[in-house]
């Protein structure tokens, strides 16, 4: 078995008001796909943000290793440079910064090398086509005035352009219509199957999972992982809800 | 010999308590033109050199009706009366006159092709120079006028600029003022415009350099449906001080005015902005808006803003908006998750914000210089530069003169 890419041990994270994540343990190996489910307010986004290094959450216990390196105290940009990525539940609008120049800067920052403009342009064009995004979006300010679906497509566009080794997808499918979910799923599939990228998929539905091979499913309730299983757990949860797992743990 | 004079006064004294009604400049103006100046005029244009007094006497004929001055809204008198209003005002005009600054009166009529005035001033370290021009843009003529001032990066000196334009019926002027002076300069830049029926002016102003900088702009929209559209961008850091006074006077019916100000302040820079939209009697059906966006890069900057809207008419629409602040923490985190650290994010945002203004400069070489100046100032080592953009100035001018 290969070495874990992401290894989280006894992770606790807090904000001023109190602890939100309690003793989280999670291991993701290269190329694996993990699903993270749980009721609203369970702490799923908090976990994603903490793995990414958000300054909002303070790690009050435990550690995060990525590719053998302790990243618990690294800034978010260094984690990204190491190969981590997160598709935001609510992507931010960045007025004044065009998507294209943003992507160019991000790629150059990550690789430390000047980029080949023509190769970049071609890849951008092809990827936008795959995601059925109009060319004009390249020129537009990042996420400014984008619809919910367009924002999520832009996140997946960044995923494909930046080529991380592990991507956290935080409710990338929420609020999208059927067609948009299909398109976004195609992008994720490309990342998973053609590039062997690892995934931590936070989701409420099964639609986005239809085209993905799922290795593990975790259930997060009130800041704790209460159950881990294989792909079949997703179905079980969708039929039975989360309540029994929450009770199981407390009992 | 240094003298002190007031510039950039507000048209009313509403804000008196703040002592920011105007700025006080201490400097010595020179009657000399910049030693190195490239001036190019369109084929059909004519130019006469007049004394300041002669030029003012001639301008008076185009000045707005005096009677109306009595009814300045805001209930305060115009305490710096000027026959042909400018943003920096009467004291500056007087100082230029006293210094013996010559005025170039440029007449331009309508033509088939696009007409462009280029005035490029390259100042030496220690140089004090002035340049005053009056553009008389004839009926339906379309003119682009570009003024660029440059020097070595750390040079010191004084540059006093004055541009007045009289736009006859249906005339259109695109005016660009790009200040790229060295870190020891005092830069004064004064603009006054009058627009007759259907005439329109567009102004792109970039203040990127100098140590002390005073800019004033006063468009007077006199005729029916006259318009003014401006985009100003500035970048001040270190100990730089910048004083901005825009005063749009809307006199005619259905006039339009839209002004935006995009700025970046870092270190201990200080900025005062006065932006007035003044709807006079007779301006019914007019609209005026101003929008200010300031990005603060440090806690030690001083950013003072005084938007004023004065109304003598009921049937007008005036608005002002402002977004002022540091880069948002959440946005910084978002960019960080894409591998962009805080310092780089800041540079990107500065370039993006000012680049949007620079892109509107109607000359490729000047655009490139402005962008380059910004890059150097934010010390952007990884910024992308368009490989095919000409570094050198395009010296093709129909009646180019090098002095
Ligand atoms: N920055 C924050 N400030 C205050 N409370 C927060 C913050 N972030 C998360 N929380 C709280 O922590 C809990 C988990 O939130 P979140 O991780 O967003 O849940 P999920 O993504 O599972 O719906 C919620 O009760 C939420 O209100
Ligand atoms: Mg969430």
CATH number at residue A50: 3.40.50.300
Phi, psi torsion values for A164, nearest 5 degrees: -75, 175
- Cβ of B333 within 8 Å of Cβ of A76? The answer is yes
Kindly state whether residue A251 falls inside one of the protein's structural domains.
no
- Cβ of A101 within 8 Å of Cβ of B352? The answer is yes
For residue A153, the enclosing domain spans 6-245
| Nearest residue to B87 via CA among B7, B19, B149, B13 | B7
β-pair partners for A66:
A6, A69
Q: Is A43 in the pocket of ligand 1 (CB under 6 A)?
A: yes
- Cβ of A106 within 8 Å of Cβ of B352? The answer is no
ipTM score above 0.90: yes
Ligand 1 mean position, distance from CA B248 (Å): 49
Kindly state whether residue A188 falls inside one of the protein's structural domains.
yes
Any idea which of A45-59, B71-85, B351-365 has the lowest mean pLDDT?
B71-85
Please give the Cα distance from A201 to A20 (Å, whole number): 20
Portion of chain B with pLDDT greater than 90, in percent: 71
Domain ranges in chain B are 3-328
pTM of the model: 0.82
pLDDT for B73 beyond 70: no
Enumerate the residues of chain A whose CB falls inside 8 A of the CB of residue B329: 55
Mutate which of A13, A45, A222, A246 for ligand 1? The one with the most ligand atoms within 8 Å of its CB, which is A45
**Angstroms from A72 CA to nearest CA on chain B:** 15
What is the total count of domains within chain A? Answer: 1
Please give the Cα distance from A7 to A189 (Å, whole number): 24
- Cβ of B384 within 8 Å of Cβ of A101? The answer is yes
Ligand 2 mean position, distance from CA A47 (Å): 9
β-pair partners for A84:
A166
A109 at interface of B, judged by CB pairs closer than 8 A: yes
Predicted confidence pLDDT, tens digits, chain A (251 residues)? 688 999 999 999 999 999 999 999 999 999 999 999 999 999 999 999 999 999 999 999 999 999 999 999 999 999 999 999 999 999 999 887 889 989 998 998 877 788 889 999 999 999 999 999 999 999 999 999 999 999 999 999 999 999 999 999 999 998 899 999 999 999 999 999 888 999 999 998 888 888 888 999 999 999 999 999 999 998 888 888 887 776 655 43
Phi, psi torsion values for A121, nearest 5 degrees: -60, -45
Pairing of strands B287-296, B317-325: parallel
B339: nearest CB among A54, A98, A110:
A110
| Sheet of strand A166-170, all strands in order from the earlier edge strand to the far edge | A84-87, A166-170, A198-202, A33-37, A216-221, A224-229
């Amino acid at each position: 078995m290969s070495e874990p890419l992401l290894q989280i041990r006894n992770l606790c994270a807090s904000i001023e008001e109190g602890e939100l994540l309690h003793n989280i343990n999670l291991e993701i190996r290269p190329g694996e796909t993990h699903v993270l489910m749980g009721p609203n307010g369970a702490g799923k986004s908090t976990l994603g943000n903490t793995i990414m290094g958000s300054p909002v959450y303070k790690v009050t216990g435990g550690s995060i290793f990525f590719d053998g390196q302790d990243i618990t105290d690294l800034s978010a940009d260094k984690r990204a440079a190491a190969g981590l990525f997160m598709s935001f539940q609510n992507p931010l609008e960045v007025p004044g910064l065009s998507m294209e120049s943003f992507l160019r800067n991000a790629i150059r920052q990550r690789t430390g090398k000047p980029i080949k403009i023509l190769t970049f342009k071609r890849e951008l064009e092809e990827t936008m086509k795959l995601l059925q995004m109009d060319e004009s979006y390249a020129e537009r300010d990042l996420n400014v005035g984008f619809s919910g679906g367009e924002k999520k497509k832009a996140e997946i566009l960044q995923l494909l352009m930046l080529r991380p080794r592990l991507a956290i997808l935080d409710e990338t499918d929420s609020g999208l219509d059927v067609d948009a979910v299909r398109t976004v799923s195609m992008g994720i599939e490309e990342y998973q199957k053609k590039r062997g990228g690892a995934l931590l998929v936070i989701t409420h539905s099964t639609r986005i999972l239809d085209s993905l091979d799922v290795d593990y499913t975790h259930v997060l309730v009130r800041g704790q992982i209460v159950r881990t299983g294989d792909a079949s757990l997703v179905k079980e949860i969708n039929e039975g809800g989360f309540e029994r797992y929450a009770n199981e743990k407390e009992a | 010999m240094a003298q002190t004079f007031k510039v950039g006064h507000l048209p009313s004294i509403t804000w008196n308590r703040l002592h920011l009604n105007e700025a006080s400049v201490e400097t010595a103006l020179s009657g000399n033109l910049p030693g190195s100046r490239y001036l190019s005029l369109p084929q059909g244009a004519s130019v006469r050199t007049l004394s300041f007094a002669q030029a003012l006497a001639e301008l008076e004929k185009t000045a707005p009706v005096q009677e109306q001055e009595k009814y300045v809204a805001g209930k305060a008198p115009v305490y710096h009366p000027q026959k042909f209003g400018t943003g920096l005002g009467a004291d500056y005009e007087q100082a230029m006159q006293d210094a013996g600054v010559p005025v170039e009166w440029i007449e331009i009529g309508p033509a088939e092709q696009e007409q462009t005035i280029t005035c490029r001033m390259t100042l030496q370290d220690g140089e004090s120079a002035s340049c005053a021009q009056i553009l008389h843009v004839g009926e339906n003529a379309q003119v682009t006028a570009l003024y660029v001032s440059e020097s070595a990066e750390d040079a010191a000196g004084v540059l006093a600029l004055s541009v007045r334009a009289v736009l006859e019926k249906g005339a259109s002027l695109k005016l660009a003022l790009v200040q790229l002076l060295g870190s020891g300069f005092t830069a004064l830049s004064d603009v006054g415009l009058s627009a007759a029926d259907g005439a329109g002016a567009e102004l792109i102003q970039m203040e990127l350099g100098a140590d002390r900088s005073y800019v004033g702009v006063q468009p007077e929209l006199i005729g029916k449906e006259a318009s003014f559209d401006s985009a100003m961008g500035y970048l001040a850091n270190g100990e730089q001080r910048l004083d901005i006074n825009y005063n749009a006077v809307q006199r005619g019916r259905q006039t339009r005015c839209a002004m935006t100000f995009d700025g970046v302040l870092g270190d201990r820079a200080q900025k005062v902005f006065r932006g007035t939209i003044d709807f006079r009697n007779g301006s019914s059906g007019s609209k005026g808006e101003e929008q200010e966006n300031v990005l603060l890069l440090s806690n030690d900057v001083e950013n003072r803003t005084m938007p004023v809207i004065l109304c003598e008419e009921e049937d007008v629409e005036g608005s002002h908006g402002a977004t002022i602040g540091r880069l948002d923490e959440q946005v910084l985190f978002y960019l960080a998750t894409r591998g962009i650290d805080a310092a780089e994010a800041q540079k990107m945002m500065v370039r993006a914000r000012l680049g949007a203004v620079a892109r509107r400069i109607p000359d490729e070489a000047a655009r490139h210089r402005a962008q380059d100046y910004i890059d150097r100032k934010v010390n952007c080592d990884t910024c992308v530069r368009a490989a095919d953009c000409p570094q050198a100035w395009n010296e093709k001018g129909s009646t180019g003169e090098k002095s």
